């Protein structure tokens, strides 16, 4: 079964000839896997003498594809993690369900993911009624208890 | 000036001429957002919204108004996803006005609980501390 999958976003890429080659290979694989309507464009940093500026990869478009194909694409995008300037994300829509693919070195990506989630939760929590706020506090309390149990 | 605007998602309404009139009005406003309607068992209608395109601020406002006008006819509150210029993304509540606060809160809670799992313990603590100081938060009643 096919799903409608879209990608959107920009990732800053470190400068360097070796980085350029590696990113170029990843982007080529990505575009082969995604088809013509969903693509990534790698803009290499403009060379200044022997130095290079940072580049970027822009993701855009959408296509119908299998869920296996989506997993493959996500995996290829994450391979950019070691080459990005800073942890970032690419927004996706998977059959209208939206989310973000976090890209960056593993540890830093987890931190970025957490910070971004916290920011989203803060914005969303203003919409909660007091009853639902209590549900959330209860959930956080339960999670804290579970964490402490695991520590013991 | 035109802006990119898209609306996606499904809403189930009672099947009556007023709903079909709103759907026709929406289709007349823009062909970029496709609206399929399917009659369900029992006479209800399932409206599926998909796609988007460049449209003026006036048209976007009219589209939103027409979608909100479906509210009183919904079988149960629903949320449509909108995307404005790829920057402002969110949900449009479609349902009865009196159920609005509760439905938005329930939807927000669902989204929050999904996000809580992505928090590092220290960020979870920060959130907890923030929540137990109600003076720092505004909560709808």
Q: How far apart are CA B23 and CA B36, in angstroms?
A: 9
CA distance A45 to chain B (A): 25
Which residue from B81, B132, B139 is facing A128, i.e. has the nearest CB? B139
* Tens digit of each residue's pLDDT (9 = 90 or more) over A113-127: 888 889 989 999 999
Whether pLDDT at B59 is above 80: yes
CA distance A26 to chain B (A): 25
- State residue A14's pLDDT score: 85
CB A45 within 8 A of CB A53: yes
List the single best residue of B49, B78, B82, B131 to mutate versus A (max A Cβ within 10 A).
B131
CB B56 within 8 A of CB B1: yes
% chain A with pLDDT above 90: 31
What does the DSSP assignment read for A1-31?
Answer: -EEEEEEEEEEEE---HHHHHHHHHHHHHHH
Cβ-Cβ contacts under 8 Å for B121 (sequence gap 6 or more): A147
Helix (H) or strand (E) holding B36: strand B34-39
- State residue B141's pLDDT score: 46
Class of residue A118 by CB neighbours under 10 A (exposed 0-12, middle 13-18, buried 19+): buried
Q: With an 8 Å Cβ cutoff, is A106 touching chain B? A: no
Q: Do A120 and B9 touch (CB under 8 A)?
A: no
Q: With an 8 Å Cβ cutoff, is A32 touching chain B? A: no
- State residue A52's pLDDT score: 58
Give the DSSP letter of residue B120: -
- State residue A132's pLDDT score: 93
CA distance A137 to chain B (A): 7
Tokens of B127: 């959130």
**Residue that has been written with the tokens 């639902």 in this structure:** A132
* Tens digit of each residue's pLDDT (9 = 90 or more) over A55-85: 899 999 999 998 888 988 988 998 998 888 8
N-to-C CA span, chain A: 46
User: In the predicted model, what is the mean pLDDT of chain A?
Assistant: 85
Which residue from B81, B112, B124 is facing A124, i.e. has the nearest CB? B112
pTM tops 0.90, yes or no: no
């Amino acid at each position: 079964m096919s799903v409608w999958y879209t990608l959107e976003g920009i990732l800053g890429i470190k400068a360097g000839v070796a980085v350029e080659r590696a990113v170029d290979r990843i982007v080529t694989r990505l575009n082969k896997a995604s088809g013509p309507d969903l693509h990534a464009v790698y803009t290499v940093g403009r060379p200044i003498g022997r130095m290079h500026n940072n580049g970027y990869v822009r993701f855009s478009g959408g296509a119908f594809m299998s869920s296996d194909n989506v997993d493959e694409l996500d995996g290829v995008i994450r391979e950019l993690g070691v080459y990005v300037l800073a942890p970032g994300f690419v927004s996706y829509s998977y059959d209208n369900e939206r989310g973000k693919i976090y890209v960056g070195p593993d540890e830093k990506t987890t931190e970025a993911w957490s910070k971004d989630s916290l920011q989203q939760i803060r914005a969303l929590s203003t919409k909660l009624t007091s009853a639902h706020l209590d549900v959330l506090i209860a959930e956080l309390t339960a999670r804290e208890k579970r964490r402490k149990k695991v520590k013991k | 000036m035109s802006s990119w605007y898209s609306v996606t998602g499904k809403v189930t309404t009672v099947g009556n001429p007023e709903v079909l009139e709103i759907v026709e009005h929406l289709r007349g406003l823009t062909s970029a957002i496709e609206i399929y309607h399917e009659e369900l068992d029992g006479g209800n209608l399932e409206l599926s919204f998909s796609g988007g395109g460049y449209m003026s601020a006036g048209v976007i406002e009219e589209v939103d108004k027409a979608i909100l006008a479906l509210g009183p006819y919904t079988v149960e509150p629903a949320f449509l996803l909108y995307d404005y210029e790829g920057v402002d993304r969110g949900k449009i509540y479609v349902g009865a006005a009196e159920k609005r606060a509760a439905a938005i809160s329930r939807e927000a809670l669902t989204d929050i609980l999904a996000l809580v799992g992505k928090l590092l313990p220290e960020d979870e603590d920060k959130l907890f501390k923030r929540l137990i100081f109600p003076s720092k938060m505004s909560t709808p009643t």
